[in-house]
A and B are shown apart, each in its own frame.
Chain A
Amino acid sequence: MTSIKTPSTEHPTPPDSPPAAALHSGTSDLRALVLNNLRQSGIYVALVVIVALFAVLTDGVLLSPGNITNIVLQYSYILVLAIGMVILIIGGHIDLSVGSVVALTGAVSAVLVIQQGHPWWIGVVAALVVGVAVGAWHGFWVAYAGIPAFIVTLAGMLLFRGLTLRVLDNISLSPFPSEYQQVAAGFLNGLLGGQGFDAFTLLIGAIAVAGYAVSGFRTRVARIRYQQPVESFPLFVARVVLVGAVLMYFAWQLAHARGLPIVLIILAVLVLVYGLLTRRTVFGRQVYAIGGNLSAAALSGVKVRTVNFWMFVNMGFLAAVAGVIYSSRSNGAQPAAGNMFELDAIAAAFIGGAAVTGGVGTVVGAMVGGLIMAVMSNGMQLMGIDQSTQSVVKGLVLLVAVAFDVYNKRRAGTAR
């Protein structure tokens, strides 16, 4: 009787030559790719359709350099919040307090910088510390006291709104020194010159495209080495070219407006870091495992409480980042700042394909979901549609997006 071989992990010794033909059969590839990724690709298609729709409805104003810059500036803090929110939702939680935390962190920063005259960075650091502390507070109650996140953060929503009023003494503070304003209103431009456009922005765009292509290619090579199915080469190239073209167009438009917004750099770094965190780290895996099946995760040795705790700390941190960006953009702190932000962030995560029951969702999906909301809001504003209609449309889009998701799942569920 042969002894059992436990799969070893010593070092990658990939098989020498994969059956190339089998892996590269590209005929049914496109269809399979589309079908398999309908849930994921669905939102990209939706984003493209919505962008196209509003581009036409606004006579192209939507895609004008100035307006693209504007969308980035206007919705960046929602996207930052959506990153933390989607991670919580994947883990089976929710955070209703982020709007209040945005207000509180902004208020703390404003009091220190505006009222007490400390340098701008003291405000930023203090806001982040407060955010992390708030996250730890939520994390403690959820992870260690076992109170459902819905209740804990509903309480937090009231609690931290109240603290905001207390910190601000119920008045607005304004204005921040110009360095602080740079966070949300600053641009990196003119570093390399350019004739009527900003060469630096284009360079960064080109680097991003190159990075996307190289990392995509390396993943592909690795997958082939490990005999995993990959898309056919022409399809791969088409995807890279398409994404590259969109990125370059985006950079081109920014370059013709005011250059590269600093807040976009912050956002891009966060998306990159958290994208990797969720997909490639043990922590990310454990978040998915907890959301997918809590008991099974616990019985697999996942330290559920620790992971839950850090998920909330992270949300607090990102809420503080959003708080800094928002206070910077609005150039001050107001008692009512950040109202309803939590709902936008939650909507972005769900439109982006996160599951209400947990275990499913991606950071990139949440970003696309957030962009769908952003483009819709912005487009409707450009068209002069009133607030009430905007709200109705956004509500319906959220409902339809989740209904589509549920429908897809049901179809997948019965296919056995």
Chain B
Amino acid sequence: MDDTILEMRRITKTFPGVTALEDVTLAVRRGEIHAICGENGAGKSTLMKVLSGVYPSGSYDGEILFDGKPMQFRGIRDSEANGIVIIHQELALVPYLSIAENIFLGNERRGRSGLIDWNFANAEAAKLLASVGLHENPVTPVIQLGVGKQQLVEIAKALSKKVRLLILDEPTAALNDIDSAHLLDLLRALKEQGITCIMISHKLNEITAIADSTTVIRDGRAVETLDMRSDEVTQQRIIRGMVGRDLDSFYPDRESSPGDEVLRIEDWTVRHPVQDRMVVEGVGLSVRAGEVVGIAGLMGAGRTELAMSVFGRSYGRDIRGRLFVHGREVQARTVAEAIDNGIAYVTEDRKRYGLNLIDDVRRNVSAAALDRLSRLGWVNGNEEIKVAEASRKEMNIRTPSVMAVVGKLSGGNQQKVVLSKWLFTDPDVLILDEPTRGIDVGAKYEIYTIINRLVAAGKAVIVISSELPELLGMCDRIYTLAAGRITGEMPVAEATQESLMELMTKDKELVG
């Protein structure tokens, strides 16, 4: 007997010039975990914004039935009053407020005097925290918590609103494996308590592990809804729905023939910019031409910190160690020097550190190597357009024009713009930090193909990734990093997810 809690019927949502959703129908059973997947830009987030009232009733066509009753939400408050709560991908917590203040933000519990009774609020918050398995003092400022714990605070906040339908947009995107597993356990527990859950996710292994049904959205249409309980639905099956075809393999094949060493660091040590502790300690690693080297590590292991400190000392202080490019020791004290030495760093957070989102594709592509396009300080704008056009073709950047604003492109295409920018500096070694984070399966495959092309052209590539299958699929050799130290190094042939995970957690246990 299927008891439907939510039905969205024939939802069509258009923006000027674009149809974001077309005739989408979605039915969610009471008490299930319903996954929604689809490529970036397919319309998943738009659908959830329609549901939660971010796009108010009247700005779309179609109807929403919640508990069998038609609903017309004029805003988030309306949907929350009915127990529909959305947790966005970018967490919406105020960093300097306490956990309790965040939980009751906009929903403050006022006492009889009309003032907020903080003792009561903190006690309530403590109960909510216990129910999500977070053992923190409610008066702790949120900024002191890690991303995983912040996610739990968001869920506690949702519970405080008497949530009946919880919507999570990419809840584990920023979490490491342990936090992700914890979160999924929590979702199961919430399900036991009768809370229905809609989860948008790119991580298909999580979907197959936890979801009861999966609706696949492609190009603004609901393609199919898969029943995860009865069918033997595999990840391959979901991918087929998402991209409309089978992907033969996640990872394109590559001939491996490493050449001479391009980059080597020795005894690399970095201190935290403000706290008095070492973030990277005594790290040594090397990468050769035509080789892909992976760095595996949990969040906080110092992966990004290591990469950014090498890249023109962009992170940390008291940086010590030796850096060799093509066997010659070099100084890269600034980003400009690092670029001159043939090093490129593609950030894990392209929106914050990689792109000028309000500027166009052309200027983003040229941003790191304007000197190649200029003489005596004058930029050759026409040549710049030519370069951007070449990148667009080479990288298959899907944009109406190189004059289009980067902020409007999908995540995968933005990532290609960042890659284009760094390739235009003509680097010898590329450090790719989470190169496929937050981009869809099809675009991931394209990024992998691009990496393979680079390697075939003799570039050296370092890949930092939280996704172990990605490292195993792409790399020739993998280093593991834990608590700022290298804990292992192995050729990919000898590596397994289990052996890597063991090394990644090794030092942590020693430290306690």
A, B bound: yes
- CA separation between A193 and B366, bound complex, in Å? 51
**Does B387 lie within 8 Å of A301, measured CB to CB?**
no
Instruction: Write the A1-22 contact mask toward B (1 if CB under 8 angstroms, else 0).
Output: 1111111010010100000000
**Does A4 lie within 8 Å of B457, measured CB to CB?**
yes
**Does B18 lie within 8 Å of A225, measured CB to CB?**
no
The verdict on B336 contacting chain A, using a C-beta distance below 8 Å, is: yes
Q: Which of B210-253 contact A (CB under 8 A)?
A: none
- CA separation between A280 and B376, bound complex, in Å? 11
- CA separation between A36 and B314, bound complex, in Å? 37
Can you list 22 A-B pairs with a CB-CB distance of less than 8 A?
A: A1-B255, A4-B457, A6-B423, A7-B386, A9-B372, A9-B387, A12-B380, A226-B385, A228-B385, A281-B377, A281-B379, A282-B371, A282-B374, A285-B379, A286-B370, A293-B356, A293-B357, A296-B367, A300-B335, A300-B367, A302-B335, A411-B16
Min Cβ gap A331→B in Å is 39
- CA separation between A410 and B215, bound complex, in Å? 31
Assign chain A's interface to a size class.
35 or more
Assign chain B's interface to a size class.
35 or more
**Does A296 lie within 8 Å of B457, measured CB to CB?**
no
Min Cβ gap B312→A in Å is 7
- Using a CB–CB cutoff of 8 Å, the interface residues on chain A facing chain B are 1-7, 9, 12, 14, 222-223, 225-229, 280-283, 285-286, 288-289, 292-293, 295-303, 355, 359-360, 411, 414-416
8 Å CB contact of A3 from B335, B382, B457: B457
**Does B339 lie within 8 Å of A3, measured CB to CB?**
no
Q: Which residues of B contact A297 (CB under 8 A)?
A: 356, 367
**Does B383 lie within 8 Å of A295, measured CB to CB?**
no
- Using a CB–CB cutoff of 8 Å, the interface residues on chain B facing chain A are 15-18, 20, 254-255, 311-312, 314, 334-336, 338-339, 345, 347, 352-359, 363, 366-368, 370-374, 377-383, 385-387, 389-391, 394, 401, 403, 408, 421, 423-424, 426, 450, 452-454, 456-459
- CA separation between A383 and B387, bound complex, in Å? 55
8 Å CB contact of A7 from B355, B367, B390, B452: B390
Q: Which residues of B contact A299 (CB under 8 A)?
A: 311, 314, 335, 345, 347, 353-354
- CA separation between A2 and B452, bound complex, in Å? 10
**Does B391 lie within 8 Å of A292, measured CB to CB?**
no
- CA separation between A291 and B206, bound complex, in Å? 39
Q: Which residues of B contact A303 (CB under 8 A)?
A: 334, 336
**Does A3 lie within 8 Å of B456, measured CB to CB?**
yes
Min Cβ gap B262→A in Å is 16
Top 7 A-B pairs ranked by shortest CB distance?
A: A292-B356, A7-B390, A300-B368, A301-B336, A3-B457, A7-B387, A301-B335
- CA separation between A1 and B378, bound complex, in Å? 37
**Does A416 lie within 8 Å of B368, measured CB to CB?**
no
Which of B254, B352, B359, B385 is packed against the most chain A CB atoms within 10 Å?
B359
**Does B353 lie within 8 Å of A295, measured CB to CB?**
yes
**Does A4 lie within 8 Å of B454, measured CB to CB?**
yes
- CA separation between A222 and B381, bound complex, in Å? 10
Known: A6-B426, A300-B368. 15 other contacts (CB 8 A): A4-B456, A7-B391, A9-B387, A12-B380, A12-B386, A226-B385, A281-B379, A282-B379, A288-B356, A288-B363, A295-B352, A298-B314, A359-B358, A415-B408, A416-B20
8 Å CB contact of B356 from A289, A301, A411, A416: A289
Closest to A13 in B: B386
Min Cβ gap A2→B in Å is 7
Main secondary structure of the interface of A (DSSP, over half): loop
Q: Which residues of A contact B386 (CB under 8 A)?
A: 7, 12, 14, 226
Which of A228, A296, A302 is packed against the most chain B CB atoms within 10 Å?
A296
Min Cβ gap A196→B in Å is 44
- CA separation between A416 and B368, bound complex, in Å? 27
**Does A5 lie within 8 Å of B456, measured CB to CB?**
no
Min Cβ gap B496→A in Å is 28
**Does B358 lie within 8 Å of A360, measured CB to CB?**
yes
**Does A7 lie within 8 Å of B359, measured CB to CB?**
no
**Does A225 lie within 8 Å of B356, measured CB to CB?**
no
Closest to B253 in A: A1
Q: Which residues of A contact B370 (CB under 8 A)?
A: 282, 285-286
Closest to A303 in B: B336
Closest to B41 in A: A416
**Does B353 lie within 8 Å of A6, measured CB to CB?**
no
8 Å CB contact of B408 from A9, A225, A286, A416: A416
Min Cβ gap B334→A in Å is 7
**Does A12 lie within 8 Å of B356, measured CB to CB?**
no
Given contacts A223-B382, A292-B356, whether A7 and B255 have CB atoms under 8 Å apart is no
**Does B312 lie within 8 Å of A301, measured CB to CB?**
yes
